[in-house]
């Protein structure tokens, strides 16, 4: 079972158009909306015009202006620090970030999008220190499908990194969230498959970035090869994964 999800829906006109083109070709069943981004409203209109596109929410805590005043203040305090790599997060920072996540979900719903799943811009949601906040946000919002850690590689990281990632996945599942067994980018997936290292059971999410200048080759590679999985019936949307797993 392969979920293909396009990130950053709403970040630019080029990204919006590329995601829709991939969806119309049948190779991008899902996308995550970056509700804080400058072209989010345009993305929402495109989503409404393409009701077969499954839309989740790409939670943003790092790039675009926040909706929540408390998180805006915390961002100024953190400066250029990446939420994903923070090794200490105090209670007030967690509370402000959780409030921002809830606010982004609420704004998406007010604008006519009912998110099928959650992930985050720059992988902020996978910081183990935020696992509790993530589970609470997902449960309280009744959005139980959530992206896991990047856990399929051509060259695997250290055993410690793999253990932390596995623990995070187990924590989310114990918290009642639905996550695929594996998560990686489309380029890595195709390479691992060509090398014969891809297992033939379970579920996997492929992250893709259509319309991004830095991901042109990956997008083109998926558009060339993705039809094999479409023909086999292995491609599903996030919403389908939640009901068929």
How far apart are alpha carbons 137 and 120 in whole angstroms? 13
What domains can you pick out in the chain, each with its CATH number? 2-244 (3.20.20.370)
Computed over every residue of the chain, the mean pLDDT equals 94
Region 97-121: mean pLDDT is 97
In this prediction, residue 197 carries a pLDDT of 82
What pLDDT does 243 receive? 56
> Could you read off the pLDDT of 19-50 as tens digits, one per residue?
999 999 999 999 999 999 999 999 999 999 99
**Rounded CA separation 82/117 (Å):** 23
Mean pLDDT of 87-113: 96
User: Is 245 a residue whose pLDDT tops 60?
Assistant: no
Burial annotation 156-167 (CB, 10 A radius, 16+ → b, else e): eeeeeeeeebee
Calpha distance 80→198 (Å, rounded): 37
pLDDT on residue 202: 86
Cα–Cα distance between 172 and 144 in angstroms, integer? 10
12 pLDDT higher than 90: yes
């Amino acid at each position: 079972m392969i979920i293909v999800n396009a990130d950053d829906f709403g970040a630019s006109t080029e990204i919006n158009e590329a995601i829709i083109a991939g969806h119309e070709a049948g190779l991008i069943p899902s996308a995550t909306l970056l509700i804080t981004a400058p072209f989010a409203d345009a993305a929402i209109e495109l989503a409404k015009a393409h009701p077969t596109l499954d839309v989740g929410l790409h939670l943003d805590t790092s790039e675009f202006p926040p909706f929540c005043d408390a998180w805006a203040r915390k961002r100024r305090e953190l400066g250029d620090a990446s939420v994903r790599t923070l090794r200490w997060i105090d209670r007030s920072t967690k509370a402000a970030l959780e409030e921002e996540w809830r606010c982004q979900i609420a704004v998406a719903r007010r604008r006519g999008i009912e998110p099928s799943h959650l992930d985050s811009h720059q992988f902020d949601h996978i910081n183990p220190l935020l696992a509790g906040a993530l589970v609470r946000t997902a449960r309280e919002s009744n959005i139980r499908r959530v992206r896991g850690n990047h856990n399929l590689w051509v060259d695997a990281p250290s055993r410690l990194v793999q253990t932390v990632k596995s623990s995070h996945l187990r924590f989310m599942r114990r918290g009642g969230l639905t996550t695929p067994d594996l998560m990686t980018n489309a380029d890595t997936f195709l390479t691992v498959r060509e090398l014969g290292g891809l297992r033939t059971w379970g579920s996997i999410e492929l992250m893709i970035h259509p319309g991004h200048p830095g991901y042109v080759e990956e997008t083109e590679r998926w558009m060339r090869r993705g039809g094999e999985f479409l023909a086999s019936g292995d491609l599903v949307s996030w919403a389908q994964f939640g009901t068929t797993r």
